[in-house]
Amino acid sequence: MRRLHVSLLGLAVVAAAVSTPASASASSSDDGASGPRVVAGAFSPNGDGRDDTLLVRYVLPRDADRVELTIDELYAGPTDHVRVVRLGRVEQGSHSWTFDGRNGNGTIVDDGTYRVSLSYAGSPAAAGNRLVVDTSFSPRLAVDSGAIRLAGVNPAVYPRTSVVRDALHLSGLVEHRTRRVSLTIRNPRGRVVLRKVKRNVKGPAQVYSSVFDERWTARVDGRPLPPGRYRAVIAGVDRVGNRGRVEQPIWVSKERLVWHEEVRTVRPQGSEGGGACFFDGGAGCSDAETFNPPCGTVTASQLYAGGLSYRSAPCPEGRTGNDRAGMSHWLPFPQAPRGVARARVRFVGAPTHAGEGDVGTLSVSATAGQQSSFTTSATGSETADVTPRYGLGVDGDTSGSADPIPPGVLWGFSTTSGNAVDVQEFVVTARYLAVED
């Protein structure tokens, strides 16, 4: 069985890999060490026969009483010891003790970074070094299709598409020190169609490192691969011999994507998205809603069935806020596997009070780095084309929803300064890649 060792030389700790039986030992010899040396170490007490123990070597500059080795969590308090080994009187020289990864109660400690320290009667201070307990290897695989996928839907690639070169983006994350990691894609018969290997992956401590950046078109020598269910796998071995893998099914489609423009008419009451902070979008918008809330109202229209009435109003005396009345609206396009590329919105309506010249503002939110489109009218107008914000969908973490939200178009309608407008309908025009009929 392989084990690692950590040596405390005088006031230092040294760790290295050794191939010796996994048993505690205590041999005394003067190795003449002069000055501290520190090397980090890691081991894997998971019972798989690889690096299950850590051999701690320590050197005393003189005979000493009340010698102790202490294992602590890295940021624990001074008395919160994981394990204390009382060695009593120990002669000058080199000695060793085997750490089996168990705490004082005999339980395997959790994965993490710990500190092993040496102290003895009359020592000026405890000397030590970090050690890492690592019992598993869990690589991660991300397959990006360009748009948010709904729960339970496997990613698909359309290599027969001619209007664009369709592809999936595959990437992986592994521990900051990994001996070997591979990315493999197999066809429905199990034959390898793509394989890449990286060795000795290193990165910042305690941080996952990015590996592979593959734009996979499911084409070989310019020709599409046969359709079917393929499997992408990232597998590897970490620094202490733990093995792990992660698998993701991928569909290679026999269909192809074509550009499609769709015009949808929706009633305002059927597309409510909520207030200004729909999807928690916009820096500081939650604060704006809290500290400067709108005092206007959005209610069911008395002019149009299914419509809404946006009525701005001044805030009552003593209430902080603004006179705005507004709402976000949302129309999903789950049939757009690569998201909505371009969109524009038109509204049809009229001033709430006949004969008045009240106006409302329609806006379509654009993706980051692009200008949103606004238009103001009393009875109806259309925004310009934009690349819509959330055109690729919204993941569950961002939306606050348990499930991801599919690609779609987000827009808003509002009134201010005493204006009141009723909206009968919104007309949404969206352009996206769709599976050919």
Q: What is the pLDDT of residues 360-379, one digit of tens each?
A: 999 998 988 888 999 999 99
Of 272-276, 300-304, 408-412, the range with the lowest mean pLDDT is 272-276
Asked if residue 28 lies in contact with residue 95, where contact means CB atoms within 8 angstroms, the answer is: yes
Look at 3-7, 21-25, 175-179 and tell me which has the smallest mean pLDDT: 21-25
> φ and ψ at 270, to 5 degrees?
-100, 5
Instruction: Judge if 268 and 402 occupy the same domain.
Output: yes
Tell me, yes or no, whether 275 and 169 share the same domain. no
Q: Could you tell me if 206 and 281 lie in one domain?
A: no
Q: Which of 20-29, 90-99, 331-340 has the highest mean pLDDT?
A: 331-340
Mean pLDDT computed over 12-24: 38
Co-location of 265 and 402 in the same domain: yes
Domain that holds residue 64: 3-133
Angstrom distance (rounded) from CA 218 to CA 166: 9
Over residues 51-83, the pLDDT tens digits come to: 898 888 888 888 889 988 889 888 766 667 899
The CATH number that applies at residue 245 is 2.60.40.2550
Residues 294 and 427 in one domain: yes
Pick from 203, 231, 255: which residue ends a domain?
255
| 159 lies in the same domain as 278 | no
Per residue in 83-114, pLDDT tens?
A: 999 999 989 888 888 899 999 999 999 988 89
pLDDT at 78: 67
What average pLDDT does this structure show over 341-357?
96
Answer yes or no: are the C-beta atoms of 48 and 244 closer than 8 Å: no
Residue 208 sits in the same domain as residue 292 = no
Both 64 and 204 in a single domain? no
**What does the alpha-carbon distance between residue 242 and residue 44 come to, in Å, rounded to a whole number?**
8
Mean of all residue pLDDT scores within the chain = 84
Q: Are residues 41 and 126 in the same domain?
A: yes
In the DSSP assignment, the letter for residue 106 is S
Do 294 and 431 belong to one domain?
A: yes
Rounded CA-CA distance 19/40 in Å is 18
425: left (phi over 0), alpha (psi -120 to 50) or beta: beta
Nearest-angstrom CA–CA distance, 425 and 78: 68
**Residue whose pair of structure tokens reads 């939650």 in the numeric block:** 286
Q: Which pTM value belongs to this model?
A: 0.78
One domain for residues 112 and 164: no
Last residue of a domain, one of 99, 133, 167: 133
Span of 133-142, 244-253, 391-400 with lowest mean pLDDT: 391-400
CATH code assigned at 123: 2.60.40.4070
Question: Of 111, 130, 115, nearest to 45 (Cα)?
Answer: 111
In the chain, the number of structural domains is: 3
Segment 139-149 mean pLDDT: 89
pLDDT over 80 at 117, yes or no: yes
User: Does the CA dihedral 407-281-376-312 come out positive or negative?
Assistant: positive
Mean per-residue pLDDT, 192-200: 96
Q: Which residues contact 190 (CB under 8 A, 6 or more apart)?
A: none
Asked whether residue 381 carries a pLDDT value surpassing 60, the answer given is: yes
Rounded mean pLDDT, 163-179: 92
Tell me which DSSP letter residue 397 carries: H
- Determine the pLDDT at residue 120: 85
pLDDT number for residue 268:
95
- Which of 255, 282, 310 marks a domain boundary? 255
Do 292 and 406 lie in one domain? The reply is: yes
How many degrees, rounded to 5, is the angle at CA 8 between CA 7 and CA 12? 125
